[in-house]
């Protein structure tokens, strides 16, 4: 982790998650955008914790390469309160994306969007440029992404580097987006990179975001699954099992110690 700043964290499922509130997180990011030091940000939820069990490189990326990992999920917030080290509030990736884009425009920074479905990415960029005067988008790439194809990866890296962008948003889903940023951080030529998952779908209106009350009460997953049941039902079931496993470790006080 490059940041000399001290961020209060809680170890959750082996991942160090920030306990900063939303405004404090934005303030930290604003200062980092002014710095030449490279910054990687991830927004973690229960899916991240579950994926860490299958992708053994992911915990190391999140803990050692990412400078900030926010709690993008109410279960993480609830778990933190349960063990007496509360996370101030949920810091959702979709909300954070819009705010960071505004900060980039304010500082006259160049922005590049990588990944996602062009049917969502292009409309999302149009929405952001309408909302945020002065936003300087210097590149977008929704081409095929194959992390096992060196030629494909080099072409993507070269395109990002040629754009001379300052801020890179990567919408490839976890762990691909976190892995890509961590692997190529030294050659991308950017100062800030953040994985944003499916945020373009929400900003473009391709997928409906849950009402605020559902977001606050941890029921956003219901709204999402209603729109994509086949894709999300297996994921949410696996995440629920992961949550039960963590709760069992906390309550039972056994060998599993996912929180500290």
pLDDT in tens, 215-237: 888 888 888 888 888 888 888 88
Confidence of residue 252 (pLDDT cuts 50, 70, 90): low
Measured distance CA(73)–CA(47) in Å, rounded: 9
Chain centre to alpha carbon of residue 71: 9
Can you point out the beta strands (E) in the chain?
A: 9-12, 15-18, 39-44, 68-71, 110-115, 136-141, 167-171, 192-195
Where do the structural domains in the chain lie, given as residue ranges? Answer: 9-204
Residue 103 near residue 30, CB atoms below 8 Å: yes
> How many CA atoms lie within 13 Å of 235's alpha carbon, on the beta-carbon side?
17
Asked if 158 and 165 count as a contact pair (C-beta separation under 8 A), the reply is no
Helix 74-82 × helix 229-252 angle, to 10°: 10
Tens-place pLDDT, residues 80-95: 998 889 998 999 999 9
Beta 110-115 vs 136-141: how paired, if at all?
parallel
* pTM of the model as a whole: 0.90
């Amino acid at each position: 982790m490059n940041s000399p700043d001290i961020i209060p964290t809680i170890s959750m499922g082996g991942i160090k998650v920030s306990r900063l509130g939303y405004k404090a997180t934005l303030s930290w990011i604003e200062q980092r955008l002014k710095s030449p030091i490279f910054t990687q940000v991830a927004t973690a939820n229960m899916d991240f914790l579950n994926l860490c069990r299958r992708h053994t490189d992911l915990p190391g990326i999140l803990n050692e390469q990412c400078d900030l990992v926010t709690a993008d999920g109410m279960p993480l917030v609830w778990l933190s309160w349960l063990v007496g080290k509360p996370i101030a509030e949920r810091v959702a990736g979709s909300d954070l994306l819009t705010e960071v884009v505004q900060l980039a425009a304010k500082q006259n920074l160049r922005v590049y969007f990588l990944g996602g479905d062009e049917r969502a990415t292009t409309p999302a960029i149009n929405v952001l440029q309408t909302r945020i005067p002065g936003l300087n988008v210097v590149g977008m790439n929704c081409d095929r992404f194959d992390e096992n194809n060196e030629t494909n990866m080099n072409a993507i890296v070269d395109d990002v580097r040629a754009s001379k962008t300052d801020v890179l948003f990567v919408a490839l889903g976890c762990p691909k987006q976190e892995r890509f940023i961590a692997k190529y951080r030294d050659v991308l030529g950017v100062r800030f990179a953040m994985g944003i998952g499916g945020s373009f779908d929400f900003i473009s209106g391709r997928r409906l975001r849950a009402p605020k009350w559902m977001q606050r009460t941890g029921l956003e997953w219901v709204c999402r699954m209603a729109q994509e049941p086949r894709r999300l039902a297996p994921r949410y079931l696996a995440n629920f099992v992961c949550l039960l496993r963590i709760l069992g470790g906390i309550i039972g006080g056994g060998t599993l110690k996912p929180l500290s």
